[in-house]
Structure 1
Amino acid sequence: MKKQVFLFLSLVGFLAIGTAQQKQITLEEIWGGAFRTEYMDVLRSMNNGKQYTVLNFSRSPRSSSLDKYDYKTLEKVETLVASGGDIPFFSSYSFSDDESQILLATEVEPIFRRSRLGIYYVYDLASKELVKIAETKIQEPTLSPDGSKVAYVLDNNIYVMELANRTTKQITTDGSKGTIINGVTDWVYEEEFGFVRAFEWNSDGTKIAFLRFDETNVPHFSMDMFGTGLYPYQHEFKYPKAGEDNSLVTLHLYDVASGNTSNVDLNNPYYIPRIKWMNNPNHLSVQTLNRHQNDLKLWSVDASSNSVSLLLEETDDAYVDVDDDLTFLADDSFIWTSEGDGYNHLYLYGKDGKLKNQITQGPWEVTRYYGYDKKNNRIYYQSVENGSINRDVYSIATNGKKKKRLTSKEGTNSASFSTDYTYFINTFSSATTPYEFTLHTASDGKLVKKIKDNAALSTKLEGYEFAPKEFSTININGYDLNMYMIKPVDFDPNKKYPLFMFQYSGPGSQSVSNSWMGSRDYWHQVLASEGYIVVCVDGRGTGLKGRDFKKLTQKELGKYEVEDQIAAAKKLSELPYIDEERTGIWGWSYGGFMSTNCILKGNDVFEMAIAVAPVTSWRFYDTIYTERYMETPQENPTGYDDNSPLNYPELLKGKYLLVHGSGDDNVHVQNTMRMIEALVQANKQFDWAIYPDKNHGIYGGNTSLHLFTKLTNFVKENL
């Protein structure tokens, strides 16, 4: 690699963890759970705002219990329900709105990333009666507001069970695998719009709104599953690749009293990514999108007449994000988030859809909306106002005044508020501090009490060789990009070290954040202990630095992001302690797409690359994600092909490792197989591995350990 330009690093913090360096972290410890962090599992505030519930587990003997705690004292008040006797082990729970009934999930098994099947029970807190909803596994059971009924999906149809007499009524009858889905989403909605349950009770339990998906014309996809039997079998489902047909989605209303179902005419929208009832039981909100996802409409549906009126419309030259921040106040005025001024902020609209005022503003992003305290007229939210790699919790009045910062530690803060907004439990972590859970007053953020921390893990890590992340910015292509660097513990500035870059780079993503480590961060520690300098740079197109920065890559995925990684590698090689002849890069999924492009288009810069589960052509990926950023292949063929590594395999010069799971329902192994064939026909040597039946995460049993052992060996042998 040739030296090119001078590097300027503006350090924003040097983080260190302890000084003891007796042992090196091992792969076996990472994937054996040696550094597992403690959490607070499934915490929910009770309606009284004074107490909360936590789902607790015991491993030996295997058991679960739902326990109630007092916010003020943090002491356990009582156990509401526990496994044992007739009550099986349960892994999740939810309350009816009036908290008279608890829905318990047992024998849960995944379908796709978010969807689950399970055996479910309803536990009556007053009578202690346990009701099994169905003998077979069902999806998305949801209690009515008063707890008298439960709606669920079985075999693509919606059912409602009356708990008092245990009678069940089937609402839809046309559900059929591969054609019609009622009440739950199809694959692409689940993956890209982020929800599974596609039905909602209204506020008084008299109506159910639901979506119906007709996926008859969606192309059929199948994967060979090898299993343990004599013959493989095929896993089949509908998967719309970019430019292909999506499901036809329609909205319907079911009246509980009459048993009648009616259709709501939304003028044939292409997508319906959200439905949500307002406080008025006859008022339903519906969000619709066009295929390009750059024109979002918020509709109001009058359920008494099925009449539809437009509340709000938002357009963008690129795309409009869909989220769950929409909140209706008592009079059905509502809070909305938008990038309208160039950054994601909160807005207040009247029930007529007219803007009242912008609540938050500034050159920073709101990252989470927590809720509205009617009594004190306060809105609670999380933002990156204190630097885009950090998160803090704030409150503000609906008129945008009297803003308060409620968290003080620099790092990543997130909150879980009591129902009456008296308290919040703050979850804090940073690059040097594993998760801490503390109780605070919501009015001023004052610490009430510490709940739980990971001090034992911190103490344990002091016994290991551990290199801190150095956070900085690096100026690339006219932008100050967020970056971190991990150096070996015994770093000597007079020596030369190989550079190994990690990134994800997908639209709106963030890899450089001041938060606690995941398993891949621990792996980077292993590499640092072996004498590698690990660097991560968030290039153009990543998130939390404004609309224009994020959407700059529109219609050109893989162009500007790759240019930034190549330029960053060149600039980093100017450092006297970087060996410019030993530069590698790796990534997973979008990051694998990036690392593959980097070693091809940057073949004079990178000597090695690893791509795990990569996209190799956006023509192979799903409609909703891909077309949001690229339009369709028919409309933008050069955008798809100019940055597809399938089209220039002859550029490969360095060492390249390609890894995929054959059971990946998300980024299909087709991507890797086509890349393999392209490289073979270009007569390029490379390494590859396929993990049978493993999905996009490539895990299970010893799989993660085996995979990262392979990756580690490849790095050590080739960089």
Structure 2
Amino acid sequence: MTSQKLSFPRQHARTQRFTLGAPRAFTVSPDGERVIFLRSASGTDRTNRLWVLDLADGSTPKERLVADPEALLGGSAEKLSPQERARRERSREGSAGIVGYAVDSAAELAAFALSGKVYVAELRAGTARALPVPGPVLDPRPSPDGRHVAYVSKGALRVVGAEGDGDRALAEPEDAHISYGLAEFIAAEEMHRSRGFWWSPESDRLLVARVDDSAVKRWWIADPAHPDRKPTEVAYPAAGTPNAEVRLLVTDLDGARTEVVWDRGRYPYLAQVHWSSDGAPLILVQARDQRSQLFLAVDTESGATRTVHVDEDPVWLDLFPGVPAWAPDGRLVRIVDEGGARVLAVGDRPLTGAQLQIQAVLDIGESDVLVSASAGEDAAEPEIGQSHVYRVNELGVERVSERAGVHSAVRAGEVTVLVSASPERPGTEVRVLRSGKQVATVANHAEEPVLTARVQFTEGGAQRIPCAVLLPTDYQESDGPLPVLMDPYGGPHGRRVLAAHNPHLTSQWFADQGFAVVVADGRGAPGRSPGWEKAVKNNFALSLDDQVDALHALAERFPLDVTKVAIRGWSYGGYLAAMAALRRPDVFHAAVVGAPVTDLRLYDTHYTERYLGDPAEQPEVYAYNSLLTDEGLSEAADQVRPMMIIHGLADDNVVVAHSLRLSSALLSAGRPHEVLPLSGVTHMTPQEQVAENLLLLQVDFLKRALGLDRA
């Protein structure tokens, strides 16, 4: 147990933001007798183990350890291939051990990769063993009948019997630029498609993605701290440049292949794949401008496709977890923007309206669909930062989660695993429900934080911007106004105002250093409405406008000293922080700029082109949104604002060139700034000492920049 004397920065880093020890990655067996999940032994243990919670009728629910990496590896250290490290970076996975698994259709056999090997676990018996296959392996997945395991090794899709017999390659790469069964960079980073192969329900064939990245531009990620090491080659599809070519093949277990045919020239993005017993394989393909997409059913004999549905949007089309999919009666289940709301549609009929903003489909049952959603703009009362679980069918909508908070769920049949976080208590609570009644809980071993987040949720400005305000723990009204720290992400995909405790712990720590901390989710952030998110098309500066509006509105109700305002952020938040210091020095007096995207032409295709279009067609849009062409660089010399720029040199998502080019532009404009390079650090900054000291250095900089160290 970590001592309570431990500082918050060290505890926050050591526990990986209090995620270690928390159960995750739940699966419910179709018979309702088992809940499978991952969890490490304590709040400081990085090694995940595979567990089963037995729920058989008539017995007391009991957890069983099924696979322990330390025992399976005989105490030896885990070894990760470069490909596995890349997969974990794409999924922002910082833990160790068993970080993912897949099960057969009965949830009786699990397969997982560990130290480059394939392991299978008999979930009823509680035994695990390695299979003798060539490695290093990626993404092993059992067939639905549990007789085979497919996996990827050295770019080849292979299959082996569940007993370790008959290992063979079904598809081998023709050259070094081709791989079978893996998601390309864009799919994993931006489409949330981490898979590259899918078993048929009958276990006799697979759909396999073939990726050819030969046309993708090559970048080189070097480690200047180790000049003796070769730079790492990365195939990075920057905005306006070629993507990888992705094909899809129906592949039999004897290696026979049939290519799936669609207009790949018009719809190059393979966004989603769904194959269940409820219908033909279903794929979702997108146009490069993401304003048109097709839902296609696949004929597995000929490879021909049939259009099931077409979606078009003048701005862009989003992708959502859990869809598209077939309902048991063969109707298409999808999430669509309609009438100013994000609704659930089954067949041609929308089942929800403007009262909810659907975020994901969690499960499709015989008589209902389980979804996660936030309250829409037409909701009776604002539910700032909340997400709930709902059952939806033709008869109406029923909320499954109860108290205020952020909830998600996994379900099979009558058993639901409900994962809940609330503002009042740290961490998450995991409850197991059968037919709506609690039958068990899953233990959470995450550490208790050494501080308590005291969050006030509110709305600010004419736009009713969702905000969270945090004051020092010991603040009294007589203390007067406080220097302000804006602490946003503030852009697409990144909702920071969450009705939960742990997401606000770092903001509370900054508040306890003497700041009033404001977190604001302006236009572009998810969870409000499609129009709210799509308002930033061609104009990311609206994100900055909303930070300013929120600040000024909240200053009328909270003790904010608007003569001392700083801003900090990472990734899009870092971009926003730099933009704040450059374009609005009248409002912001210092900025901590972490891993910023400063030149949008250096960021990837699927993300950047969704918001800003093709740089060849809209160069003026890219110039306006770039920090390097910002006219403020050479003007308002009397309002130069201090900036601390932080970037990991090993970042292959937002490469360090972004920060280096910003620093060069600032230097050319005569603008003083600080640059903090992080050797060996990626976009995640998982290293304990780095993560701890980053917080301490930021506070030191902010106090110096605002003159608080002289107060």
TM-score range relative to shorter protein: 0.7 to 0.9
Cα offset, 1:161, TM superposition: 1.9
1: CA distance, partners of 2:47 / 2:489: 38
Aligned residue among 274, 277, 280 for 1:276:
274
CA distance 1:581–1:265, shift in 2 (3 Å): same
> What amino acid is the match of 1:255?
D
Aligned: 1:358 with 2:344: no
Where 2:622 maps in the other structure, the secondary structure is helix
Aligned residue among 374, 390, 404 for 1:384:
374
Q: Which moves more between the two structures, 146-155 or 446-455?
A: 446-455
Cα offset, 1:451, TM superposition: 4.7
Aligned residue among 599, 615, 619 for 1:617:
599
Residue deviations 1:171-216 (CA, integer Å, cap 9, x gap): 2233433x21221122222111112321111110122111212211
Cα offset, 1:87, TM superposition: 7.0
Aligned: 1:487 with 2:471: yes
* Matched-pair contact (CA < 8 Å) for 1:221–1:238: yes
Residue 711 of structure 1: aligned partner: 698
CA distance 1:287–1:672, shift in 2 (3 Å): same
Cα offset, 1:402, TM superposition: 3.9
CA distance 1:616–1:599, shift in 2 (3 Å): same
> What amino acid is the match of 2:309?
L
* Matched-pair contact (CA < 8 Å) for 1:436–1:452: no
2: CA distance, partners of 1:80 / 1:526: 38
2: CA distance, partners of 1:448 / 1:162: 36
Residue 29 of structure 2: aligned partner: 46
Residue 91 of structure 2: aligned partner: none
* Matched-pair contact (CA < 8 Å) for 2:251–2:257: yes
The equivalences for 1:543-622 within 5 A come to 543-556=526-539, 558-574=540-556, 577-622=559-604
Cα offset, 1:264, TM superposition: 2.1
Cα offset, 1:481, TM superposition: 0.6
> What amino acid is the match of 1:696?
H
1: CA distance, partners of 2:205 / 2:212: 22
Where 1:188 maps in the other structure, the secondary structure is helix
Cα offset, 1:224, TM superposition: 0.6
* Matched-pair contact (CA < 8 Å) for 1:56–1:67: no
The equivalences for 1:21-170 within 5 A come to 26-33=8-15, 36=18, 38-55=21-38, 57-58=40-41, 64=49, 66-70=51-55, 75-76=61-62, 80=66, 91=98, 92-107=100-115, 118-123=116-121, 130-163=129-162, 166-170=165-169
Residue 262 of structure 2: aligned partner: 266
2: CA distance, partners of 1:402 / 1:267: 38
Cα offset, 1:650, TM superposition: 2.4
* Matched-pair contact (CA < 8 Å) for 2:36–2:50: no
Aligned residue among 498, 506, 514 for 1:513:
498
Structure with bigger RCO (C-alpha 8 Å, 6+ apart): 1
> What amino acid is the match of 1:506?
G
1: CA distance, partners of 2:294 / 2:613: 19
Aligned residue among 409, 414, 425 for 1:415:
409
Residue deviations 1:11-67 (CA, integer Å, cap 9, x gap): xxxxxxxxxxx9996423332449846522443212211332344544799894533
2: CA distance, partners of 1:147 / 1:576: 59
Residue 682 of structure 2: aligned partner: 695
1: CA distance, partners of 2:147 / 2:25: 24
Cα offset, 1:322, TM superposition: 1.7
Cα offset, 1:468, TM superposition: 1.3
TM-score normalised over the length of structure 1: 0.85
Cα offset, 1:154, TM superposition: 1.6
1: CA distance, partners of 2:291 / 2:538: 13
> What amino acid is the match of 1:410?
A
* Matched-pair contact (CA < 8 Å) for 1:183–1:210: yes
> What amino acid is the match of 1:491?
Y
Q: Which moves more between the two structures, 54-63 or 445-454?
A: 54-63
The equivalences for 1:627-706 within 5 A come to 627-648=609-630, 649-651=633-635, 653-706=640-693
2: CA distance, partners of 1:576 / 1:144: 58
2: CA distance, partners of 1:198 / 1:226: 34
Cα offset, 1:82, TM superposition: 5.4
Residue 291 of structure 1: aligned partner: 288
CA distance 1:122–1:227, shift in 2 (3 Å): farther
Q: Which moves more between the two structures, 600-609 or 566-575?
A: 566-575
* Matched-pair contact (CA < 8 Å) for 2:405–2:420: yes
2: CA distance, partners of 1:710 / 1:186: 36
Cα offset, 1:455, TM superposition: 11
Residue 18 of structure 1: aligned partner: none
* Matched-pair contact (CA < 8 Å) for 2:136–2:154: no
> What amino acid is the match of 1:241?
A
* Matched-pair contact (CA < 8 Å) for 2:14–2:688: no
Cα offset, 1:483, TM superposition: 0.9
* Matched-pair contact (CA < 8 Å) for 1:425–1:437: no
* Matched-pair contact (CA < 8 Å) for 1:541–1:561: yes
Aligned: 1:330 with 2:317: no
TM-score normalised over the length of structure 2: 0.86
* Matched-pair contact (CA < 8 Å) for 1:507–1:551: no
Aligned: 1:394 with 2:371: no
Where 1:339 maps in the other structure, the secondary structure is strand
Cα offset, 1:139, TM superposition: 1.3
Residue deviations 1:243-302 (CA, integer Å, cap 9, x gap): 011112222111225x31122221223211122224267x22111111101101001111
Residue 341 of structure 1: aligned partner: 339
- Equivalenced residue count is 661
2: CA distance, partners of 1:100 / 1:620: 46
Residue deviations 1:521-577 (CA, integer Å, cap 9, x gap): 333223222221101111112121111111011122x22111222333344455683
Residue 473 of structure 1: aligned partner: 459
* Matched-pair contact (CA < 8 Å) for 1:133–1:161: no
Tell me how large the CA RMSD over aligned residues is: 2.9
* Matched-pair contact (CA < 8 Å) for 1:501–1:584: yes
2: CA distance, partners of 1:371 / 1:597: 41
Aligned: 1:255 with 2:252: yes
CA distance 1:523–1:129, shift in 2 (3 Å): closer
2: CA distance, partners of 1:531 / 1:696: 28
CA distance 1:702–1:85, shift in 2 (3 Å): closer
* Matched-pair contact (CA < 8 Å) for 2:16–2:686: no
Residue deviations 1:409-461 (CA, integer Å, cap 9, x gap): 111122232x212x323222222212343536464x4445555468983xx75
CA distance 1:246–1:621, shift in 2 (3 Å): same
Residue 379 of structure 2: aligned partner: none
Percent of paired sites with the same residue: 22
* Matched-pair contact (CA < 8 Å) for 1:156–1:175: no
Structure 2: stretches of 5+ with no match in the other structure: 76-96, 376-381, 707-711
Cα offset, 1:140, TM superposition: 1.4
Cα offset, 1:362, TM superposition: 2.1
Residue 310 of structure 1: aligned partner: 307
The equivalences for 1:210-221 within 5 A come to 210-221=208-219
Where 2:551 maps in the other structure, the secondary structure is helix
Cα offset, 1:517, TM superposition: 1.4
CA distance 1:360–1:202, shift in 2 (3 Å): same
2: CA distance, partners of 1:252 / 1:150: 18
Residue deviations 1:93-139 (CA, integer Å, cap 9, x gap): 432224453313312xxxxxxxxxx2112345689684514242111
Q: Greater CA radius of gyration, 1 or 2? A: 1
* Matched-pair contact (CA < 8 Å) for 1:434–1:454: no
CA distance 1:134–1:687, shift in 2 (3 Å): same
* Matched-pair contact (CA < 8 Å) for 2:589–2:642: yes
CA distance 1:215–1:35, shift in 2 (3 Å): closer
2: CA distance, partners of 1:312 / 1:576: 50
2: CA distance, partners of 1:713 / 1:61: 30
Aligned residue among 532, 557, 565 for 2:515:
532
Where 2:672 maps in the other structure, the secondary structure is coil
> What amino acid is the match of 1:528?
A
Residue 9 of structure 1: aligned partner: none
CA distance 1:194–1:42, shift in 2 (3 Å): closer
